[in-house]
Amino acid sequence: MFLADINSPDDLRKIPKEELPSLAREVREFIIDVVSEKGGHLGASLGVVELTIALHYVFNTPDDKLVWDVGHQAYAHKILTNRKKQFHTNREFGGISGFPKIDESPYDAFGTGHSSTSISAILGMAIASTLKGNPHRNHITVIGDASIVSGMAFEAMNHAGTTQANVLIILNDNAIGIDPSVGALKDYLAKMKSEKGKNETFFNNLNIKYKGVIDGHNLTELIDAFEILKNEQGVKLLHVITTKGKGLEKAEKEQITYHAPRRFDKITGEQLSEDSSLPAKYQDVFGLTINELAQQNQKIVAITPAMPSGSSLTFMQKSFPERVFDVGIAEQHAVTFSAGLALEGFIPFCVIYSTFLQRAYDQVIHDVALQNIPVIICIDRAGLVGEDGPTHHGVFDMAFLRPIPNLVIASPRNASQLRNLLYTAQLSVNFPFVIRYPRGRCNEMDWQQSFQKIEIGTAEQLKEGSKYAVLSIGSISDNVTKAIHLLKNPEDYAHFDIRFLKPLDESLLHTIFATYKIIFTVEEGSEKGGLGSAIAEFASKNGYNKPLKIIGIPDQFIPHGSVNELQKMIALDHISISEILNNKDI
């Protein structure tokens, strides 16, 4: 037993090299034990256990800088860097993060909740070391899970090849991100693997010294390679082959499912069954609906940046494989590619997680909205997403999209409305249409009803009331309904589902401001710039001075934890909302 005595890489380096495979088995068992009970990103971290051990064994971390990209492959790294005792709190409220985080450990040189940022960051650190008179310090990035295909990684390599920085790029090649890797670079790397590397490579032509291909599960081979490379100056790339899910048979065979599985039996690997009586997930509502619409309309196509399974596009992918385009980790390309399809008469549904759409902001403005091109942007994971934390919460999209001209922006409160908005969007093919919806389960069992077109820019009154108006947008409507039921005088409160952030239902808003004493707005998005701001602007423009209380995500980054815990923390749970509604002192 070695793991029990390891609290830092200093302890790791005391173990004889020939005993390290035993440590690797212990680390894998530890990860499986915890993740089987707690959940988390399993496959990627199992695939880099030997790589992690070898890196910390050879390099003088944390003085030598080590960045993990993508960050969900860093569980073994956390365990070996003084977070073993806290690892059972991984992704829990108040516990350690599921991703590298600068303020969590000096061994986490850079936060990497998104992908493809590591080469830029490590190059900056390496050049800084040179400027400070320490050009021989080692700077290492492990870039894996297909994240090297992103444009930012190419931009960084293009720059790195013009420098004398001391950088080691480790290409963790496992041929899969969450879904199987796609694209010409994937085919090129596969050819290099079959040829066991070659003298002249794409990387050499960028002035990056290519080394490889080596077995990422052979500790002796890894350590020998690192011992050579740590004394070799310049920009280098080591091509390492690993197996995602290594050490758990089920995870090796079903790599997509075991990227981040639900609770499972740690011996057999079998996932524990889910309650079949639960309503559908919003992702499946989207996926089944777009597949149904695609059967009716041959012009419908779907585009995703490496998230077909996460976005439930697999239904349509199975039915119409030639009409679903996985473009890899390339959100910018996904949006502009969709614009090109739209200009040629197709109806593109571009499906991107809210937090990842941030990387394509310029393309939404210049390549879609400015030219008024009818792309349907489906924003998955809008709002709080839970355990993945601040890098994945989709809380800014309403605020950053609302100022953009020509966009229609809608946020359904339930699955039926999501289904009908998707139907409406493909009928309204003259302008860009944005639909945002949350992660997780809806609250309806019978959402698969006949399609109904929704009039764009219309809100809906859900409850009558005599004194106060509560305006909500999106699925937070459920919490508002529950909050009003808790009030002593619920008959005083009217509840409106605004539904369209843009254009607003101004006719209804005039009625609301003329009728009610106090107006409350509730949104699971940034309270700065979202629905509340839009209503405040409307009131100011039209000379209304009624009291207005904006309830939303406060001006801070929200940590990780369950959605219920986080809503309670920021006063968006139904009890907190009820208390705010009951306080008329605004």
Pairing of β 460-463 and β 493-497: antiparallel
* Residues pairing with 472 in the sheet: 497, 522
Q: What are the pLDDT digits (tens) for 116-164? A: 999 999 999 999 999 999 999 999 999 987 888 888 999 999 999 999 9
DSSP letter (8 states) at residue 165: -
Confidence of residue 199 (pLDDT cuts 50, 70, 90): low
Contact residues for 339 (Cβ-Cβ < 8 A; gap 6+)? 348, 363, 367, 368, 371, 373, 375
Mean pLDDT (whole number) for 447-475: 97
Torsion on CA atoms 30, 36, 37, 42, rounded to nearest 10: 80
The Cα diameter of the chain in Å comes to 79
Instruction: Please report which confidence band the pLDDT of residue 260 belongs to, taking 50, 70 and 90 as the band edges.
Output: confident
Instruction: Give 211-251 as a DSSP string.
Output: EEEEETT-HHHHHHHHHHHTTS-SEEEEEEE--TTTT-HHH
The gap from C-alpha 119 to its chain's centroid, in whole angstroms, comes to 19
d(CA 555, CA 237): 40
Residue 259: closest CA among 73, 527, 529: 73
Q: What does the pLDDT average to over 165-180?
A: 86
Say if strands 548-553 and 518-526 run parallel, antiparallel, or are unpaired.
parallel
State the Cα–Cα distance between residues 574 and 580, nearest whole angstrom.
Answer: 10
Which pLDDT score, from 0 to 100, does residue 250 have? Answer: 85
Query: Rounded distance, CA 128 to CA 245, Å?
Result: 36
Q: Please tell me the predicted confidence (pLDDT) of residue 165.
A: 97
Give the three-state DSSP class for 109.
Answer: coil
pLDDT value for 254: 87
Query: 231 φ, ψ to 5°?
Result: -105, 5
Q: Tell me if 479 sits within 8 A of 572, measured CB to CB.
A: yes
Is residue 419 annotated as part of the catalytic site, yes or no? no
User: Torsion angle of alpha carbons 247, 313, 145, 204, nearest 10°?
Assistant: 140
**468 has pLDDT over 90:** yes
State the residue for tokens 């309309």.
Answer: 297
pTM given for the model: 0.94
Query: For 279-325, what is each residue's pLDDT tens digit?
Result: 999 999 999 999 999 999 999 999 999 999 999 999 999 999 999 99
Strand partners, 521: 471, 550
Residues in the chain, total? 586
Nearest to 398, CA basis, from 538, 504, 503, 501: 501
* Res. 198: pLDDT tops 80: no
> Distance between CA 347 and CA 294 in Å, rounded?
10
Dist CA 506 CA 509 (whole Å): 5
CA distance 163 to 207: 9
- Annotated catalytic residue 331: yes
Q: What is the mean pLDDT of residues 461-476?
A: 98
Out of 78, 359, 439, 549, the active site residue is: 359
Is the Cβ–Cβ distance between 167 and 138 less than 8 Å?
A: no
Active site residue 344: no
Q: What region does 193 belong to: left with phi over 0, alpha with psi -120 to 50, or beta?
A: alpha
Whether the CA torsion 329, 334, 335, 337 is positive or negative: it is positive
Q: What is the mean pLDDT of the chain?
A: 94
- State pLDDT tens for residues 36-71: 998 888 989 999 999 999 999 999 999 999 999 988
Going by pLDDT thresholds of 50, 70 and 90, the confidence category of residue 586 is low
Q: Is the peptide bond before 403 cis (omega within 30 degrees of 0)?
A: no
What's the pLDDT score for residue 163?
A: 97
Quote the pLDDT of residue 420.
98
Which of 168-182, 208-222, 332-346, 440-454 shows the lowest per-residue confidence on average (mean pLDDT)? 168-182
What tens digit of pLDDT does each residue of 501-555 get? 999 999 999 999 999 999 999 999 999 999 999 999 999 999 999 999 999 999 9
Q: How far apart are CA 324 and CA 316, in angstroms?
A: 7
Report the distance separating Cα 48 and Cα 144, nearest Å.
10
For residue 32, the one-letter residue type is: I
With bands split at pLDDT 50, 70 and 90, how would you rate the model's confidence at 391?
very high
pLDDT of residue 269: 83
Q: Please measure the distance between the N-terminal and C-terminal CA atoms of the chain and give it in whole angstroms.
A: 62
Confidence of residue 177 (pLDDT cuts 50, 70, 90): low
Which tens digit of pLDDT belongs to each residue from 333-373? 999 999 999 999 999 999 999 999 999 999 999 999 999 99
Task: Name beta bridge partners: 170.
Answer: 142, 238
Element (H, E) at 373: none
Local confidence band at 197 (pLDDT 50, 70, 90 cut-offs):
low
pLDDT band of 181, cuts 50, 70, 90 = confident
Cα dihedral 164/167/172/178 (nearest 10): -90
Q: Which of 83, 244, 402, 436 is catalytic?
A: 244
* H or E stretch covering 472: strand 468-473
